[in-house]
Copies of this chain bind each other. A is one copy, B any other.
């Protein structure tokens, strides 16, 4: 029997707890989002984040900038948000327009407000095996799914496909810190199937429909699909779900798997930053 991992349900549990706590303590954490340009997916993502925040009692503000915004203008706004004691968390919606130096923008965020954990300071702490202020939302959400379903990671062979700074790399580090043996694959990897077929767990974050097919996975493996591919039939992941499900012991659907967990972890990170900052102010 294959178990379909219900990210929607777990996300509701997590955010439900956050909502109760926020209400109980009568507080108002606040998230600021920087969005530049007119990427239609980004607009949807940001709307969903803002909607969820409102639902939980988290204030949010979205600062939007035109496609041809000056880099220095973005930086100035980040500096202002860094200084603003009412802002607990700063998120820069990616991708930024091509002429913008993404590294420079992300690095400008104060680590203690870096809700995505993408600054070198937080990312470095994670890589070194220490606790950063925030762990990137998508891999953190995947780890939470493993824990919810009591999936042991120690000693497991895990294939992570896709090496983005947002998902693949931090996922690798988190699994590594949990004593899994991780292989990170990418566009230059040869013979992906030779690796996937020997993996206990496959996490695919590439964005390529049907990248992971039934013949590539071993019996009883655990399949996490982070792919987001939109076509005329709607949203699809990287995994050929209807066939791979026959071999998997656990599998995440798209939609309703990793996606809701990402937003839930963003809310959790915002709430955690609020608590850290308030503690600091009380000291």
Residues of chain A having any CB pair with chain B under 8 Å: 103, 118-130, 154-155, 157, 163, 165, 169, 172-173, 176, 179-186, 188-190, 194-195, 198
Contact of A176 among B123, B126, B163 (CB under 8 A): B163
Given contacts A120-B124, A128-B123, are A186 and B181 in contact (CB under 8 A)?
yes
- Give 19 CB contacts A-B under 8 Å: A103-B128, A119-B124, A120-B120, A120-B121, A120-B122, A120-B130, A122-B124, A123-B124, A127-B173, A128-B165, A129-B165, A154-B188, A157-B195, A163-B176, A172-B184, A176-B184, A181-B186, A181-B195, A182-B183
10 pairs of A and B residues whose beta carbons are closest in the complex: A124-B124, A120-B124, A179-B188, A183-B183, A123-B124, A127-B127, A181-B189, A120-B125, A155-B190, A155-B188
Q: Shortest Cβ distance from A117 into chain B, in angstroms?
A: 10
User: Given A127-B169, A130-B120, are A181 and B179 neighbors across the interface (CB < 8 Å)?
Assistant: no
Residues of B within 8 A of A163 (CB): 176
Residues of B within 8 A of A181 (CB): 183-186, 188-190, 195
The main secondary structure of chain A at its interface with chain B is mixed
For this chain, the copies found in one complex come to: 2
**Min CB gap A178→B, angstroms:** 9
Measured CB to CB, the nearest residue on chain B to A120 is B124
Task: Tell me the bound Cα distance from A182 to B160 in angstroms.
Answer: 11
Q: How far is the CB of A108 from chain B (nearest CB, A)?
A: 14
Q: Chain B residues near A126: list those with CB within 8 A.
A: 127
Residues of the B chain whose Cβ atoms lie less than 8 Å from the Cβ of A129: 165
Bound complex: CA of A180 vs CA of B123, how far in Å?
21
CA distance in complex: A39, B169 (Å): 35
Residue of B nearest to A118 (CB): B128
Cα separation A130 to B101 with both chains bound (whole Å): 12
Q: Which residue of B lies closest to A158 (CB)?
A: B183
Closest chain-B Cβ to A54's Cβ sits at a distance in Å of 32
Alpha-carbon distance between A166 and B58 when the two chains are bound, in angstroms? 41
